[in-house]
Amino acid sequence: MTDALHWLSATDIAKAYADRTLSPTELTQALLQRIEALQPKLHAFIRLDADAAMDAARTAEAELKAGRVRGPLHGIPVGIKDIIDVAGLPTTGHSKILVDNIAKQDAVCVSQLREAGAIIMGKLSTHEFAIGGPSFDLPFPPARNPWNPRHHPGGSSSGSGAGLASGMFPLALGTDTGGSVRNPASVCGIVGLKPTYGLVSRRGVFPLAFTLDHVGPMTRTVADNALLLEALAGHDPLDPGSAPTNARHFSAMLDRGVAGLRVGFVRHFHETDMPAHPDVTAALEDVERILEAEGALVETVTLPKLSEFAGINRVILCSEAWSIHAKWLRERPGDYGALARRRLLAGAFMTAGDYVGAQRRRAELIATVNDKLRDYDVLMCASSMDPASEIDDATETARTYPRQARAPFNVTGHPALAMMSGLSGTGLPVSVQFVGRYFEDATVLRVAAAYEKAAGWYKKHPPI
């Protein structure tokens, strides 16, 4: 094995275990050393559970020696966003409100990871309650971008993005209500999938907005993303949003390429609705050229304006979030950070008519996207319109954070994946987004895998 164990993919780790060229304890020790070196710079973790991780690694190693493999993630480390319950650890939401909230049991998604053999490394930084931005008035410091720690790593799954991109672990869980898996993926140069709404259970995850929330896999490669999704997907009858589906085998089409597939390019999102940074635009044109060279047919398509999707997302998110936070906001407003408090309080001014009207228009937007996906296998569009701003520049962060095309697919619930499409002139990642039909997450992953292989950006790591 090379010295750079921290850059191994989960797929490569599993192969190395099978070949007896690497052990779970060797890998976990190497990652803990990596975390010790980088955590003071990046603040990816809120709570590192090093002793439990090593205990799990020793158990996994003993099982391997005895010829027992619990599942496809056997002995593979994973980080967990800190709005997801891990038994015995605090679920704080990065907030003073829940700083002493100890989870009594694992969230369903964490239980599924353990059943698949994964090693839980600890709890990762997030924006407060998955809605605040990068903040310095919270109990824990905000995570930073490994490509340049002066910049933010996206959010709200900020620790997941920073930890993956810096080689602290090969797999992570994030959540996505308005783009919170795909934003860190976009600006940290990794792969983040918001699965089809209802594909992954959210039971044991602190909610932000019930009808928009998703749990999603975050990884450094598309193959790892499919592997992680296979461990997570499944119907949970106790999650009201969970959908009975036979969608499985998300890795099955990764090597099929894109020849003959039809791709609808939603250009107006980044060309006219919200004009993107030139480096983002240039990278998207390169994605189009690569997909066409690989045999896909790419055509321009039109959806409703980005501002309409964003407005519907905002009304629904703020209304549902207010229903969760109203009591604390009335009784403990000073225990919230300023950003989260301001964003959550907006829900107090939404009316029932606003919410019902937004849900009614939402149904029409869903129908429009479904119509386009009858003609195209996937849609392609921008994710973030800009590279990450400096984390200390509150004005620029406030300007650029909403400049994104992720919220439309929380509104509609379609699977959407963001991944690296290049580097800006300042050396920061830029991105592309692929969107598919309901429960055809495998097709989204197939297109992403073909682009990843042809473009090769997954081989590029931050200079840290």
Residues catalogued as catalytic: 81, 156, 180
In 3D space, the residue among 131, 95, 83, 154 whose CA is nearest the CA of residue 346 turns out to be 131
Closest CA to 423 of 178, 223, 151: 151
Distance between CA 65 and CA 126 in Å, rounded?
A: 37
* Residues whose CB is less than 8 angstroms from the CB of residue 310 and which lie 6 or more positions away in sequence, other chains included: 402, 407, 408
Cis upstream peptide for 156 (omega within 30°): yes
* CA separation for the pair 307, 329 (Å, rounded): 28
- Phi, psi for residue 423 in degrees, rounded to 5: -120, 140
Please state the three-class secondary structure of 67-107 as a single string.
Answer: CCCCCCCCCCEEEEECCECCCCCECCCCCHHHCCCECCCCC
What backbone torsions phi and psi does residue 277 show, to the nearest 5 degrees? -55, 140
**Token couple for 353:** 């008519």
Work out the number of other CB atoms within 10 angstroms of the CB of residue 101: 15
In the sheet that holds 214-219, the strands lie side by side as 45-48, 119-124, 77-81, 171-176, 214-219, 191-194, 416-423, 429-436, 378-381, 262-265, 297-300
* DSSP states along 143-185: P--TT-TTB---SSSHHHHHHHHTTS-SEEEEEESSSTTHHHH
Q: What one-letter code names the amino acid at 203?
A: R
Calculate the CA 385 to chain-centre distance. 17
* Residue count (the chain): 464
